[in-house]
Amino acid sequence: MKIVCIGAGYVGGPTMAMIAYKCPEIQVVVVDINQARIDAWNQLDGCELPIYEPGLEEVVQAARGRNLFFSSDTHKHVAEGDIIFVSVNTPTKTRGVGAGKAADLTYWEGAARMIASVSTTSKIVVEKSTVPVKTAEAIEKVLRRNCADPNVQFEILSNPEFLAEGTAIEDLTVPDRVLIGGKETESGQRALAVLKSVYQHWVPDERILCTNLWSAELSKLTANAMLAQRISSVNTISALCEATGADVQQVAHSIGTDSRIGPKFLNASVGFGGSCFQKDILNLVYICEGVGLKQVADYWQSVVSINDYQKQRFVERIIEAMFNTISGKKIAVLGFAFKKDTGDTRETPAIDVCKGLTQDGAKLVIYDPKVTEAQIHQDLATPKFEWDHPQSSGTKSPRSSAITVVEDAYEACEGAHGITILTEWDEFKKLDFEKIYASMMKPAFVFDGRNILDHAKLREIGYIVYALGKPLDPFLKRG
Ligand code: UDX
Ligand code: ADP
């Protein structure tokens, strides 16, 4: 059996590496039109892979060259494949009907047309990237109408990926579940059994859930929407805590011990980020609007609106605390990735927070252990939703002179009026805050957008501390 995956990104790369690692008798080839990305996956040992993910290097090293290959020869490998996973970008549309909400399926359709044009044998085509409900129907039409050989059959399956970045290898090794959706026809069920047999190499049967196609597609959108909704819910409560003197961490812990609620995904934060949550919810909203479910659409839209509100609220707190002006003031930004243990910055809350601060005239000095200087400048110059449209990457504005990126947290904080924590990197907890305090302007502020620091200790040192959803420092209270 030969498996081919179109798209060597955050999902395609690790997922295929794990399949190859666990199934030595199956040949797995990951293809991408981005030659630089393929080259990076093929780097010799010791060089960095194109994405940072704990444990990924070991898995890739064990399988690469044995039964795992990365190639830009998409046509050849797709033609030879029995199972074709499609894991390409599904950005939010930036123009035209549904702009700002609907998924742009340009890359998906391009991949489907290519599969159809090169296929001389029947194939199972698997939706791996998150797609709107009923995408399989559209893709099937594209495949059938564009394949010259009438004997070639395509079976479409939906096999959404639930891995989270930073824990991808753990999530892939011991998944909560693997979900496979297929048509309820004989050939659909046969295809489903073939894909199931791949996962059965390491995933217990009871964790492989089989549904119809539309349920699988919708389950992925719903899972992300529900997770994001929990964060927005706790973030609304963080605002209420600040107004009432309650502590959001105590509230989250108290409610999380209720087994019906559970303790996970209740950390108040400066906002959720990542390539999926916002995009998938907007997509859900668009679908609901399309079928006339306005109230349902409004409900899910509010999850995104609250996330925007939380980022804005954080910026306003900083400005207000610093005597209503941050113009010309230096603010250290610790953390830019959308969460710890990843170098990924897609939809990171740091983008909106940094833009908000520079709009008010602040000078930012940014440090993140895994995000490059070039990436930070690019992110801060890219218009909303454009990041996932590779073809538009040529339209960059010049670098902002208000942004400096440094390679050390102490350097970032030197001479700063305030420090903001935007990513919960463990190394920030271990910083010498006495030393930092001595190097800062006074009064020295800390704005902890992830609640990871020891706030009592910081106050003892002399900092004025704002912590999300915590009783306000008397210095920060109005009047
Ligand atoms: C998410 C889903 O978890 C995963 O199943 C899906 O396949 C892809 O989208 P990911 O985006 O990698 O994964 O990260 P996740 O751990 O879900 O975090 C998303 C965002 O929420 C991050 O910005 C994180 O900091 C934030 N978050 C998470 C909180 O603010 N509070 C929490 O309690 C948890
Ligand atoms: P994800 O997080 O879903 O994995 P990424 O943006 O990291 O998304 O990866 C998607 C990859 O798909 C990119 O590397 C892009 O170059 C690739 N891609 C997009 N369209 C095609 C195509 N038609 N053929 C091959 N690769 C493609």
Q: Which ligand is nearest to the CA of 16?
A: 2
Q: Which ligand is nearest to the CA of 220?
A: 1
Alpha carbon of 12 to ligand 2 centroid (Å): 8
**Domains of the chain by range and CATH?**
2-203 (3.40.50.720), 245-476 (3.40.50.720)
- Residue whose Cα lies nearest atom 13 of ligand 1: it is 164
Alpha carbon of 89 to ligand 2 centroid (Å): 5
Whole-angstrom Cα distance, residue 31 to residue 319? 47
| pLDDT tens sequence across 65-77 | 999 999 999 999 9
Report whether 90 belongs to an annotated binding site. Answer: yes
Active-site residue, from 5, 23, 241, 276:
276
Report the pLDDT value the prediction gives residue 416, as an integer from 0 to 100.
98
Instruction: Give catalytic status of residue 241 as yes or no.
Output: no
- CB 86 near ligand 2, within 6 Å: no
Report whether 278 belongs to an annotated binding site. Answer: yes
Tell me which residue of 272, 233, 227, 221 sits closest to 101, measured CA to CA. 221
Q: What is the 3-state secondary structure (H, E, C) of the chain?
A: CEEEEECCCCCHHHHHHHHHHHCCCCEEEEECCCHHHHHHHCCCCCCCCCCCCCCHHHHHHHHECCCEEEECCHHHHHHHCCEEEECCCCCECCCCCCCCCCECCHHHHHHHHHHHHHCCCCEEEEECCCCCCCHHHHHHHHHHHHCCCCCCCEEEEECCCCCCCCCHHHHHHCCCCEEEEECCCHHHHHHHHHHHHHHCCCCCHHHEEEEEHHHHHHHHHHHHHHHHHHHHHHHHHHHHHHHHCCCHHHHHHHHHCCCCCCCCCCCCCCCCCCCCHHHHHHHHHHHHHHCCCHHHHHHHHHHHHHHHHHHHHHHHHHHHHCCCCCCCCEEEEECCCCCCCCCCCCCCHHHHHHHHHHHCCCEEEEECCCCCHHHHHHHHHCCCCHHHCHHHCCCCCCCCCCEEECCCHHHHHCCCCEEEECCCCHHHHCCCHHHHHHHCCCCCEEEECCCCCCHHHHHHHCCEEEECCCCCCHHHCCC
Residue reference for tokens 């209270």: 477
Percent of the chain with pLDDT over 90: 84
Closest atom, ligand 1, to C-alpha of 338: 23
| pLDDT tens sequence across 216-241 | 999 999 999 999 999 999 999 999 99
Q: Which two tokens stand for residue 202?
A: 């390491």
Alpha carbon of 272 to ligand 1 centroid (Å): 7
Report the pLDDT value the prediction gives residue 45, as an integer from 0 to 100.
67
Best mutation site among 159, 176, 177, 338 for ligand 1 pocket (most ligand atoms within 8 Å of CB): 338
> Between 444 and 400, whose confidence is greater?
444
pLDDT tops 70 at residue 479? no
Report the pLDDT value the prediction gives residue 388, as an integer from 0 to 100.
72
Q: Interior CA angle at 169 toward 58 and 270, to 5°? A: 125
Whole-angstrom Cα distance, residue 425 to residue 302? 29
Report whether 31 belongs to an annotated binding site. Answer: no
- Residue whose Cα lies nearest atom 17 of ligand 2: it is 7
Report the pLDDT value the prediction gives residue 46, as an integer from 0 to 100.
63
Whole-angstrom Cα distance, residue 172 to residue 164? 9
Whole-angstrom Cα distance, residue 272 to residue 284? 17
Closest atom, ligand 1, to C-alpha of 163: 7
Report the pLDDT value the prediction gives residue 397, as an integer from 0 to 100.
62
pLDDT tops 90 at residue 92? no
Q: Which ligand is nearest to the CA of 14?
A: 2
Report whether 91 belongs to an annotated binding site. Answer: yes
Report whether 61 belongs to an annotated binding site. Answer: no
Q: Which two tokens stand for residue 405?
A: 């990126």
Alpha carbon of 338 to ligand 1 centroid (Å): 8
Ligand 1 pocket, residues with Cβ under 6 angstroms: 161-165, 224, 227, 231, 265-267, 269, 272-274, 276-277, 338-339
Main-chain dihedrals φ then ψ at residue 406, nearest 5 degrees: -125, 170
The pTM of the full predicted model, rounded to 2 decimals, is: 0.93
Tell me which residue of 343, 315, 308 sits closest to 228, measured CA to CA. 308
- Residue whose Cα lies nearest atom 20 of ligand 1: it is 272
Report the pLDDT value the prediction gives residue 100, as an integer from 0 to 100.
87
Best mutation site among 107, 129, 171, 280 for ligand 2 pocket (most ligand atoms within 8 Å of CB): 107
Q: How many CA atoms lie within 13 A of 254 on its CB side?
A: 7
pLDDT band at 136 (very low <50, low <70, confident <90, very high): confident
Contact 320, 360 (CB under 8 A): no
pLDDT tops 90 at residue 174? yes
Neighbouring residues of 429: CB distance < 8 A, sequence distance ≥ 6: 452, 453, 454
pLDDT tops 60 at residue 459? yes
pLDDT band at 111 (very low <50, low <70, confident <90, very high): very high
Report the pLDDT value the prediction gives residue 13, as an integer from 0 to 100.
96
Whole-angstrom Cα distance, residue 473 to residue 467? 9
- CB 89 near ligand 2, within 6 Å: yes
